[in-house]
Chain A
């Protein structure tokens, strides 16, 4: 494969930017949460690329830990969203402004 490290890093940067865009413009908490996962995924791509082009295992191990932590984080976050929905009957961030009133 003649594709270099920089191509993978550009893909990772763009993926991170798309995730950031999702967090910034969407109003649905679940979609914001999926965008956060997308940003974690972008970091994973960059780490695996660095690991492969550097010839060490450390980047791959970091990605392994990130995937584990992300799975735990998704479980806790979705439980919080469900509890929130049970209390407020909405997951739109526009309606979650109890602290500002």
Chain B
């Protein structure tokens, strides 16, 4: 059952991502992007990262994509003509990029030196015992424990980053003195 769900949601993620890239209308693209993010959240559920699945839907499919849709509709951008490969440079660039990915996939998953196919480890619901806080569990408790022990410094730095981003956005979007009335 979980296998079928994996294939369904992996296909939904990839197809809606491709539709996002190829749709001429940016609003349709944003809607396909939301579908892609929600399917990714489903993949997180299959990997038993429930907390991240919820965060993915709240932050990405919620806040970030609402911001994107808002800006797209506010700026009222023109449609693309849908003919993306008319200049030679982007054609060459996409061929080069996709051959790099093809080389990556072939070298990682075929031939003699492919990655080992590990089995799924059993997972506890809650961290048990001393020093087990950094092991993978399905509870949000593990996040709190890791954030306040091993990842204390990155946690604080991220807080400052959010503050800097907030101040930066206010400064960037402020009208300058000379611009008033333009």
A83→B176 CA distance, assembly (Å): 11
**A44 contacts B101, C-beta separation under 8 Å:** no
Contacts of A27 in B (CB 8 A): 80
- Kindly state whether residue B180 has any CB partner on chain A within 8 Å: no
Q: From residue A82, how far is it (CB to closest CB) to chain B in Å? A: 6
**A3 contacts B20, C-beta separation under 8 Å:** no
A contact face: mostly helix, strand, loop, or mixed: helix
A 56-98 to B, binary, CB cutoff 8 A, 1 in contact else 0: 1110110111011111111110111111010000011000000
Residues A79 and B169 in contact in the complex (CB < 8 Å), given A38-B17, A57-B146, A72-B162: yes
Contacts of B98 in A (CB 8 A): 17, 21
Residues A34 and B151 in contact in the complex (CB < 8 Å), given A48-B44, A67-B56: no
**A53 contacts B121, C-beta separation under 8 Å:** yes
B 108-141 to A, binary, CB cutoff 8 A, 1 in contact else 0: 1100001101111101000000000111110000
State the A residues within 8 Å of B (CB): 1-11, 13-22, 24-28, 30-31, 33-35, 37-38, 41, 44-45, 48-49, 51-58, 60-61, 63-65, 67-76, 78-83, 85, 91-92
Instruction: Give 17 pairs: A residue, B residue, CB < 8 Å, sorted on A.
Output: A7-B6, A13-B105, A16-B101, A19-B17, A21-B97, A25-B94, A31-B29, A37-B33, A44-B40, A45-B43, A49-B47, A55-B123, A55-B135, A56-B135, A67-B59, A68-B161, A70-B64
| Besides A19-B21, A25-B85, A25-B90, 7 new A-B residue pairs in contact (Cβ under 8 A), listed by A number | A15-B13, A44-B56, A54-B121, A60-B51, A60-B143, A75-B166, A79-B173
